[in-house]
Structure 1
């Protein structure tokens, strides 16, 4: 864990992963949940995901049951690993499910709170999805039984904003596990990334700076980085832009729009970031319509 006074950098902007725009969309390498209602992003939240030796299914399911103050029934494998575990852990401060649980159509998989909030933003679970206590309580009230849930694995995302193409590269699953274990990652070769970027860039592919792409893929900082050469006028490129998510940690919506626009136009390629000390759910806004 970072020591006292350590600066923690979180992005103020995120590119939406590909996937459903109805219900919950979980991008596991990003360790983030996006909640949509009727095609509109409501909010996103940081997650704790599976550790080495475990996994979470990739695919689609639904919320089949919800429970306030759930009891935890350790699996046989959990009790083999820790014979001191009881058959059931009742609600309370020692219950790893926290105060809320949403049970998925995949047996034994839940989205739940935690009694160990420091595990959020890390690879620590046996396959379930952990959320900060205040976040799961908020989401619990928004999500009815039957809500669609989609899990995806998209460590590299690409999207247009304000006439510029950005890449957001997170550690992939193996790198994330290595980061949890060793505190560092090794660069990897990303297959088919060039065709993906060229397809997204379209007629503006000649503006892509591949050295910047390579550096972003090597560093995997999880911060959107501009990968197109800056143009004096972006009017023509605006016609081809898509609208990825823009999020801000603390600023009001009107200030978020203004700040995000100025961030992308500034000299540094990485979208400006804010230093905070804990994982934070982010309110989302959309870029100004073009």
Structure 2
């Protein structure tokens, strides 16, 4: 299962609540960001504060893995173990160079939680790690706020989404079903998204896919000058034209202040970027 949930949704706490409710005996947290170990450990305390037979451990926190597994067998201990993808990828078992982590790979995990699942899991070594860890009865829960490289690997009913739109909808409709209760979404910021269809204004650069062809529009010659200089200049003029009713980014003083520290990036040529920068600097 994939949880595609935006930042501040509470993926860590929610995943730990699943472990508690399902009473999983052996849970592995796997992530490409080992620095989040302390965050998971803190959240473990928030969920399992009233549960005595659960333990959390990693190479930096709690008991070592062998003692955890010993207590699981002899004392019916339930545990959550945190491991980094980088550490496991280095193991000989999955094609790495070091003789380590055999006990982790041989464990019959009930649940594997992959935090920031879009990072480090799609490489050959990352795939090998997941294959070795996942046993026939192992459940896998992937967490990500930007799982664009993962979605194709899941069926629709295997994905739970909580997007910015879901958040803002819950914020606006809270009082309808929870009148009088504090709105937990009240402090979450609203985002304004503007789109501009340049194809309507510069029809000569719309390709057969009905998409604006930026590569052609910003093409430069051997001297580093814009081939379509007059059109590029018209585009820059449009961005900067003084107009209180326009939504273009530099059309009025308010917008200029808002976009004062924005970064504009064009990936198809440094010379084109330099030339456009000069035009914007001269005009805006």
TM range (shorter): under 0.3
Structure with max Cα Rg: 2
Structure with greater helix percent? 2
Structure with the bigger RCO (C-alpha within 8 Å, sep 6+) is: 1
Structure with greater strand percent? 1
